A and B are shown apart, each in its own frame.
Chain A
Amino acid sequence: MLAHVTTFTLDGLASRRITVEVDLRRGLPAFTIVGRGDAAVRESRERVHTALVNAGFDFPQRRITVNLAPAHLRKGGPGFDLATACGVLVASEQLPAAALDRWAVFGELSLGGELRHCRGVLSVAEGARGAGIAGLIVPRECAREAALVDGLEVAGVTRLQEVAAILRGAPVPELPPPVAAPAAGSEPDLADVRGHPGAVSALTIAAAGAHNLLLSGPPGTGKTMLARRMTSILPPLTNQEAIAVTRIHSIAGRHVADELVRRRPFRAPHHTISPAGLVGGGSVPQPGEATLAHHGVLFLDELSEFSRSALESLRQPLEDGAVTIVRAQRTVMFPTRFQLVASTNPCPCGMAGDDRCRCSEADIARHGRKLSGPLLDRMDLHVQMPRPKAEDLERHEGTPSDGIRAAVLEARERQAHRLAGTGLTTNAEMTPRLLRELVHADAEATRLLRLSYSEGTLSARGHGRILRVARTVADLDGCPRVGAKHVGVALGMRQERVLEGAGAA
């Protein structure tokens, strides 16, 4: 007899509907799975066989053929276990055939017949709803994640016997209670940062206008500490953003809680990371750090230590907010709308500006060249973080994140209001044309900009960056026009050109 079971496989961040066909025939007992499965799918035979027996079902002594359709798609992972087991039960008439009409199933089996947690359940649930399927049976641990999708009945089950009961018409068990979310107060707060009022202000501007930020300073001044607190002053994720982030983190197997991710992700990959690790890759493409940082912060500590190819690979994600990975059989697109925060030493020894610096002009120029190019062009803000003096540390009070976040939220609202109808929401995204149309500088500010232009301090490209940042500073102040102070702040946070022969050559 032939059985059809509906399940889903992950393809990039989306899921694709797969029909598992199970056929039982007379002949020597055999169990074959066809349909381009990977090693986990092949091994699935042993798990299904043992799980069925251990759960008290009969394993038919027949020739069993399982087909995963459509046949052209490569399929991976242990998520087919449950579908295969259900197919065998229906085909051997241990379950009614009609039972599987309104359910899709997804889950990995243990040898004892229990269901195990699986990656990507949110995508699977979205796929099921998209395919018009009424209900989805998933491992109980993933049930709340699947239930984030509206209009889909979700059955969270722990054992194969329960699956059989539901398919026979038993009531669907209630969703498990939510796992207590990690305590809210554990997020690091900006109040811990002392002695860097300028850098805190830069972080605020970066958060308010979604500008990319480069921190430069000697080792141990708190660049990393500051960057880690970026997420504490960013606006909370919207529902749509939260679903996107949860989907990504679920597929990457990083989502442990059973609620929507509410915190903006913060990713800080080590500088030895490969291009594939950064933007995603693999024969079955997996999302990289840039995608894991989607709607959050990607922090590249010691920017100059990253390999050239890794930094180059960030160009497309930064330009387009997405990265496309092409493999022989398919193309996968991963979203990468992250905010970039990077840190670097100011010179090879890290002591630039100090008498202890042993670097020559040529060394510093070489160091600067390593950082130059398309990546720096995308950094609106560049802030120096010198080692604070002892008396300054004592004098300074830290500023709590809450107050700053409120200011950031207000500034974001002003931007959204001004940019309404352009499809953009933040100042950092403004094109030169929008800058001309929407950013108005008062007389004093115009004088400063002109001065900086004629002094040769600014290039045309730098000019746009200054205007964007000045607009954000004005938004934080609640000013409709860009004033001299705002331009001054933006100029103070502009990119440093490598000092060499003081400008010539």
Chain B
Amino acid sequence: MIACEDCLRRTALVARLAPHVEHARRERRRLRELLALSDDDLIAALAGDRRGAIRQAHEDFDAAHARERLDAAAIDAVCRHDERYPLRLLEADDAPAILHVAGDPGHLEMLAARDAPAVAIVGARRAGTDGLQVAHALARGLAAAGVTVISGMALGIDSAAHAGALAVGGPTITVLAGGADVAYPASKRSLHRELVRTQAAISEMPPGFKPFRWCFPARNRTIAGLASMTIVVEATERSGSLITADLAQELGRAVGAVPGPVTAPRCAGSNALLRDGAFVIRNAQDALDEALGIGVATALTGRGPGELEPELRGLLRRVEDGRDTVSSLASSPAEAQHALAGLSELELLGFLRRAPGGRYVRVL
């Protein structure tokens, strides 16, 4: 089924009114209330002096032309009247009229059912190494269990989550603030290319659309709406990820957070969520238990240390106990070489990874 004319018209209207929305936001009008308005009310509320011209353009809307543009950009449009449209997202009265899909629309179809497993992983752009690693590992565990990982391709946690899901072949969906065919931020070009090639990038805005500032919180509402659970990995107290968590709460969805050091400002926001009652997420298994029910799915854990030779197992235990650099494992150059050889092997086997500062950390 192709997107219906009304929904195409609505999308074009929102895109046309985008600068006006930006202006209205500055006057502190609530974004979600605006986006929930009907077409006529939206024009009345936002267009101001240009009301006549915009209403005229709205009435003259050429659906055939819009469809051609979608085809040209190789974008699939799934409108809210389409049976492939995710039911969970429809629960929100400000749900996007159309989801534009770059890549495989099958990934979106998987979310059509009300109980389709999907978890959003969001967090800070300026994330710490540990946070990136946790996001990567969470996404890997969730995706491997068949749960769609949803995020926004921002720097830091979002991209690490996508990368983690990609590492096991997905599924993962990125929700973009601009057009689904535009890599934003531009530095994530190759991640975007990979996501479009094997997974899906979606957006409510038409192809080629350059995002306004309000498009990011608007995008967050789509992320929260698509997922049955939203996990915040690292967030400062004023982080945009907290908006996503709030939206998820308003929709009655589960919210989880990964605990961080209480002294670290970059984890203050996520820790505050935990204090307010968010689920504690330590690893992919915690997330699976909360999202699907306890015991429904078992997180894929690599090979257990039990299969290792005794010597490597001992080395692994010492690293876990905090002897995580070569100098704390060895006291002479000869011992250092020995330790290094063992650490490299553990790294290749996927038990350890190198962290900045010469540390080795256990892969979750």
Residues of chain A having any CB pair with chain B under 8 Å: 195-201, 204, 217-218, 346-347, 351-355, 357, 360-362, 364, 383-386, 388-389, 392, 395-397, 399, 404, 448, 451-452, 455, 457, 473, 484-489, 491-493, 496, 499-505
- B residues within 8 A CB of A352? 129, 356-357
Q: Do B357 and A360 touch across chains, with their CB atoms under 8 A apart?
A: no
9-residue interface stretch from B7-15, B111-119, B163-171, B215-223: B163-171
Within 8 Å by CB of B345, from A354, A383, A388, A484, lies: A484
Q: Do A384 and B187 touch across chains, with their CB atoms under 8 A apart?
A: no
* Nearest CB in chain B to that of A190: its residue: B333
From residue B123, how far is it (CB to closest CB) to chain A in Å? 12
- B residues within 8 A CB of A362? 126, 155
- A residues within 8 A CB of B349? 451
Query: Which of A361, A493, A499, A503 has the most chain B CB atoms closer than 10 A to its own CB?
Result: A361
Residues of B312-364 at the interface with A, using a CB-CB cut-off of 8 Å, are 325-328, 330-345, 347-350, 354-359
| Known pairs A200-B333, A484-B345, A504-B194; A353 contacts B327 (CB<8 A) | no
Residues of B168-197 at the interface with A, using a CB-CB cut-off of 8 Å, are 187-191, 194
- A residues within 8 A CB of B100? none
From residue B345, how far is it (CB to closest CB) to chain A in Å? 6
CA A94 – CA B133 in complex, angstroms? 88
Q: Do A204 and B333 touch across chains, with their CB atoms under 8 A apart?
A: yes
From residue A139, how far is it (CB to closest CB) to chain B in Å? 48
Residues of chain B having any CB pair with chain A under 8 Å: 125-129, 132-133, 136, 155-156, 159-160, 162-164, 166-167, 187-191, 194, 261, 263-264, 325-328, 330-345, 347-350, 354-359
CA A94 – CA B314 in complex, angstroms? 90
Q: Do B357 and A504 touch across chains, with their CB atoms under 8 A apart?
A: no
CA A360 – CA B236 in complex, angstroms? 13
| Known pairs A197-B331, A386-B358, A491-B348; A503 contacts B340 (CB<8 A) | no
- A residues within 8 A CB of B355? 353, 499
From residue B43, how far is it (CB to closest CB) to chain A in Å? 39
Q: Do A217 and B328 touch across chains, with their CB atoms under 8 A apart?
A: no
User: Given A385-B358, A505-B188, 12 more contacts at CB 8 Å?
Assistant: A360-B126, A360-B156, A484-B341, A485-B337, A488-B341, A493-B340, A496-B354, A496-B356, A499-B356, A502-B136, A502-B167, A504-B162
From residue B235, how far is it (CB to closest CB) to chain A in Å? 14
CA A245 – CA B131 in complex, angstroms? 52
Q: Do B357 and A502 touch across chains, with their CB atoms under 8 A apart?
A: no
Q: Do B340 and A489 touch across chains, with their CB atoms under 8 A apart?
A: yes
CA A504 – CA B139 in complex, angstroms? 13
| Known pairs A502-B133, A505-B187; A197 contacts B326 (CB<8 A) | yes
CA A501 – CA B188 in complex, angstroms? 10
Q: Do B348 and A451 touch across chains, with their CB atoms under 8 A apart?
A: yes
CA A199 – CA B339 in complex, angstroms? 13
- In the assembled complex, 28 residue pairs joining A and B whose CB atoms fall closer than 8 Å, in A order, are A195-B327, A197-B326, A197-B330, A198-B325, A198-B326, A198-B336, A198-B358, A201-B340, A346-B357, A353-B355, A360-B156, A364-B356, A384-B357, A386-B327, A386-B358, A392-B327, A392-B328, A395-B331, A396-B332, A448-B345, A451-B349, A452-B348, A491-B344, A491-B348, A502-B136, A503-B167, A505-B188, A505-B194
Q: Do A198 and B155 touch across chains, with their CB atoms under 8 A apart?
A: no
From residue B286, how far is it (CB to closest CB) to chain A in Å? 20
CA A451 – CA B188 in complex, angstroms? 28
Q: Do A361 and B358 touch across chains, with their CB atoms under 8 A apart?
A: no
From residue A366, how far is it (CB to closest CB) to chain B in Å? 11
Within 8 Å by CB of A353, from B129, B159, B160, lies: B129
Within 8 Å by CB of B336, from A197, A504, A505, lies: A197
Q: Do B327 and A397 touch across chains, with their CB atoms under 8 A apart?
A: no
From residue B117, how far is it (CB to closest CB) to chain A in Å? 22
CA A364 – CA B357 in complex, angstroms? 12
- B residues within 8 A CB of A489? 337, 340-341, 344
| Known pairs A397-B331, A499-B356; A386 contacts B325 (CB<8 A) | yes
Q: Do A501 and B358 touch across chains, with their CB atoms under 8 A apart?
A: no
Within 8 Å by CB of A197, from B189, B327, B347, lies: B327
| Known pairs A353-B357, A501-B132; A388 contacts B327 (CB<8 A) | yes
* Nearest CB in chain A to that of B128: its residue: A357
- A residues within 8 A CB of B343? 488, 492
- B residues within 8 A CB of A386? 325, 327, 357-359
Within 8 Å by CB of A492, from B125, B334, B344, lies: B344
CA A83 – CA B328 in complex, angstroms? 66
- B residues within 8 A CB of A360? 125-127, 156
CA A352 – CA B264 in complex, angstroms? 15
CA A404 – CA B334 in complex, angstroms? 11
| Known pairs A384-B358, A488-B341, A499-B356; A504 contacts B331 (CB<8 A) | no
